[in-house]
């Protein structure tokens, strides 16, 4: 897309709808930010600060260790309903695990949520990876390739129910059978609310290229960003579509770079190694081959990109992500409420000056 046609950088918050979000560390000043009251306050502050969207994580149990990382969490369809009702302009996403929801129920809930928010809702559809979470429900974790085939069917059903004449959509696949599918109300947004997938495997990239509007991804470094973002976009072009990519930075800034780095060090020094190991091995990212240092790096924000320094350095690093092909970011903070307010006062004006946000 020519630079002149590119939309401004979209600023999002990876919301703390779960405990210890998202530091896998016992150094976490407000581990219980998961409460609705806290999420509502952060959401309202985000709207004032100039953020574009709010994004939750979907979890069904914690990862053990001394923190029981993410062990208490608000379910994200019901969470979004309340957050939409408490805000006015900001977009709010839900995250849905394909194996847990029937797509017609998700389509109906989505139609409802989009009406509650007057056209401000979006959906992140994830295939799921935690055998422990699904195991407790007696749900089998499908082999990776089949997981994504099923997610493809799930998204095709959502789109069919949201865009075709109610009562006319039919679908048959090994996982679903929809006969004369009827969902009313359909969502307010036309043709449908934005659809996100948060996966990076080959299968995930192809799914996004064919059917999604956004890829929410976590490249291992800023340097790895252009290749990954370009790959998603080129694959979409092959289907005559456009997709956008958002990255996941952990943002922390202080008066001096030294102070900011010292705070990062405190988080890493108090890594909850048991929870980090459980999280990493559950995600099958090669826990045996991961050094202690890699696990410590997870402590900051479970795979988030560290964006650390002074306010100006942080703004520069975010602007760089935009240059490298990211169309947005879902930001993790250490002190969610305070950092949301400070970000609006100290970082957003810099990003405006740099010409990356509206
Ligand atoms: C930004 C982001 C958000 C994610 N949110 C969730 C989530 O809420 N629940 C979940 O089970 N997995 C979540 N994931 C994990 C992915 O959906 C996916 O399972 C994982 O990245 C492995 O995907 P892959 O097998 O396609 O590489 C998230 C990943 C990213 C990068």
The residue among 102, 92, 152 whose CA lies nearest residue 127 is 152
Residues 206-250 have pLDDT tens digits of: 999 999 999 999 888 889 899 999 999 999 999 999 999 999 999
CA distance 52 to 13: 9
Strand partners, 307: 251
Share of the chain above pLDDT 70, in %: 95
C-beta of 201 in contact with ligand 1 (< 6 A): yes
Query: Cβ(60) to ligand 1 under 6 A?
Result: no
Residues 6+ apart with CB under 8 A from 13: 42, 46, 51, 53, 54, 55, 330, 331, 333, 336, 340
Residue 168 in this model has a pLDDT that exceeds 90: yes
Question: Does 192 score more than 60 pLDDT?
Answer: yes
Q: Best mutation site among 198, 209, 249, 327 for ligand 1, i.e. most ligand atoms within 8 A of its Cβ?
A: 198
How many Å apart are CA 311 and CA 341, to the nearest integer? 13
Where do the structural domains in the chain lie, given as residue ranges? 3-353
C-alpha of 8 from chain center: 19
How far out from the chain centre does Cα 245 lie? 11
pLDDT digits (tens, 9 = 90+) for 263-295: 999 999 999 999 998 988 877 543 333 444 466
Ligand 1 pocket check for 246: Cβ under 6 Å: no
pLDDT given for residue 6 in this prediction: 85
Answer yes or no: is pLDDT of 2 > 90: no
The CATH architecture annotation of domain 3-353 reads Alpha-Beta Barrel (3.20)
Is the CB of 63 inside a 6 Å radius of any atom of ligand 1?
Answer: no
Name the nearest CA neighbour of 331 among 351, 298, 306, 295: 306
- The CA distance from 320 to 316, in Å, is 6
Tens of pLDDT, residue by residue over 23-77, are 999 999 898 999 999 999 999 999 999 999 999 999 999 999 999 999 999 999 9
CA atoms within 13 A on the CB side of 237: 7
- Average pLDDT over every residue of 289-317: 81
- Is the CB of 95 inside a 6 Å radius of any atom of ligand 1? yes
Strand ranges inside 20-59, DSSP E: 53-55
**pTM of the predicted structure, to 2 decimals:** 0.95
C-alpha span between 311 and 323 (Å, rounded): 18
Q: Report the separation in Å between the CA atom of 346 and the middle of ligand 1, taken as the mean of its atom positions.
A: 30
Exposed / middle / buried, residue 10 (Cβ in 10 Å: 0-12, 13-18, 19+): buried
Name 62's Cβ contacts closer than 8 Å, sequence gap at least 6. 19, 68, 69, 70, 71, 72, 275
- Over range 307-320, report the average pLDDT: 98
Helix (H) or strand (E) holding 307, with range, is: strand 305-309
CA-to-CA separations, 319 to 128, 177, 215, 246, 310, in angstroms, rounded: 31, 46, 19, 13, 14
Considering only CA atoms, which residue is closest to atom 30 of ligand 1? 198
Nearby residues of 243 by Cβ (< 8 Å), 6 or more positions away: 208, 209, 212, 213, 214, 215, 232, 233, 236
The answer, yes or no, to whether residue 259 has pLDDT greater than 70, is yes
């Amino acid at each position: 897309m020519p630079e002149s046609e590119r939309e401004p950088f979209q600023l999002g918050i990876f919301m703390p709808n779960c405990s210890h979000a998202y530091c896998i560390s016992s150094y976490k000043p407000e581990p219980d930010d998961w409460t609705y009251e806290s999420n509502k306050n952060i959401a309202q502050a985000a709207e004032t600060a100039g953020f574009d969207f709010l994004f939750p994580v979907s979890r069904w149990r914690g990862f053990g260790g001394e923190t029981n990382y993410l062990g208490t969490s608000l379910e994200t369809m019901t969470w979004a309903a309340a957050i939409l009702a408490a805000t006015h302009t900001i977009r709010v996403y839900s995250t849905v695990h394909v194996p847990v929801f029937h797509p017609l129920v998700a389509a109906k809930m989505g139609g409802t949520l989009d009406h509650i928010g007057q056209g401000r809702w979006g959906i992140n559809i994830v295939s799921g990876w935690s055998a422990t979470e699904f195991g407790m429900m007696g749900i089998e974790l499908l082999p990776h390739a089949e997981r994504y085939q099923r997610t493809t069917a799930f998204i095709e059903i959502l789109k069919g129910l949201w865009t075709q004449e109610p009562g006319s959509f039919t679908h048959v696949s090994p996982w679903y059978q929809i006969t004369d599918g009827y969902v009313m109300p359909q969502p307010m947004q036309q043709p449908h609310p934005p659809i996100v997938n948060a996966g990076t495997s080959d299968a995930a990239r192809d799914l996004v290229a064919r059917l999604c509007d956004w890829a929410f991804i976590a490249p291992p470094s800023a340097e790895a960003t252009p290749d990954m973002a370009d790959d998603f976009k080129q694959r979409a072009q092959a289907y005559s579509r456009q997709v956008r990519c958002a990255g996941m930075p952990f943002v922390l800034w202080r008066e001096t770079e030294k102070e900011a780095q010292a705070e990062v060090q405190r988080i890493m020094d108090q890594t909850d190694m048991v929870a980090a190991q459980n999280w990493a091995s559950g995600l099958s990212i090669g826990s045996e081959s991961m050094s202690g240092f890699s696990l410590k790096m997870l402590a900051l924000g479970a795979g988030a990109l560290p964006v650390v320094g002074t306010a100006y350095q942080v703004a520069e690093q975010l602007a760089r992500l935009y240059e490298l092909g990211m169309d947005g970011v879902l930001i993790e903070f250490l002190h969610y409420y305070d950092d949301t307010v400070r970000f609006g006062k100290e970082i957003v004006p810099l990003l405006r000056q740099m010409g990356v946000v509206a």
